[in-house]
Amino acid sequence: MARRGKKKGRPISGWVVFDKPKGMGSTEAVSKIKWLFNAEKAGHAGTLDPLASGMLPIALGEATKTVPYVMDGAKIYRFTVAWGQERSTDDLEGGVTQTSDKRPVKEEILALLPRYTGIIQQIPPQFSAIKIGGERAYDLARVGESVDIPAREVEIARIDLIEMPDDTHAIFEVECGKGTYVRSLARDMGRDLECYGHIADLRRVEVAPFTQEDFVTLEELQAAWPPVAEKEQTEDGEEIPMPRRDFSAIDALVIDTGAALDCLPQVALSDEQAHRIRMGNAVILRGRDAPVEAEEACATVRGRLLAIGYVEQGQFKPKRVFTAG
């Protein structure tokens, strides 16, 4: 039986709420963050297009187990629609497919917005990661195939007109749920206003539970990154072992893994109870405020995340135990 190779990287866990710059893909961003932290494992909670900027929550180590909870969180986008052209990708990257000389006025736009709030039906862009017959829609679109993508339900809590800097552009802010395509919003509003439209600028400013206060930029990460020490030699020419790199400055930019689970009931356990949970056993919850039933809950010990599980008849039963908070 082949022996498993030693894991590469440090066993660091937590969230990096990365302010992704334009031009960088989501996969590229994860690779960069993983390298900067020398992390064993990393993943992101929700793709952000290369032409878009803003919040890309990146999970390190044990935090990758909490990615689904962040994926389900509400998102807020600030975006600019350019009127007069519809494009194949519904943003600046694609070729022009429709044009119009009409430009909407503020009153027309405001009258339209209520149709885009609540639970609506939305058709994703041709250039999207939606799978059609086992193939990604963008792969089919790149070879010239027009695919029939069915509409799907998405939820939009609000959409606000922020500014109209000129008659060709309008700036909006939208708060929406999982699976919403902002590019589709621009396309559909343009069609409804009979002037066509596409995304000229897109920035994600929030992914619940994280806010703009949690942002960390590439420049901040690079400034905190520990440089590689140069090898030194004694007078006899013998090499002195290099000191271990100090990651404390960059690690200070990591948010605790448990922050992703603010949406769940929190159960504080004693050290003795925590030991039982780590062994895979259930524990009885005591105290006046202890939940009796909960489909999902997270347990903490000494303020650190311990496990995700559920509460049944006053007992916390673990489903996923964390080795690091």
Q: Write out the catalytic residue numbers.
A: 49
Cβ-Cβ contacts under 8 Å for 215 (sequence gap 6 or more): 17, 18, 19, 55
Tokens for 104? Answer: 């909407």
What type of residue is 18? F
CA distance linking residue 90 with residue 102, whole number of Å: 18
C-alpha 96/C-alpha 4 separation (Å) is 52
Q: At residue 182, what are phi and psi to the nearest 5 degrees? A: -70, -35
Identity of residue 63:
A
Residue 42 · residue 257 · CB < 8 Å: no
For 184, the 3-state DSSP assignment is helix
Distance between CA atoms of residues 318 and 305, nearest Å: 12
Neighbours of 72 (CB within 10 A): 13
Question: Closest Cα to residue 128, out of 197, 164, 179, 166?
Answer: 179
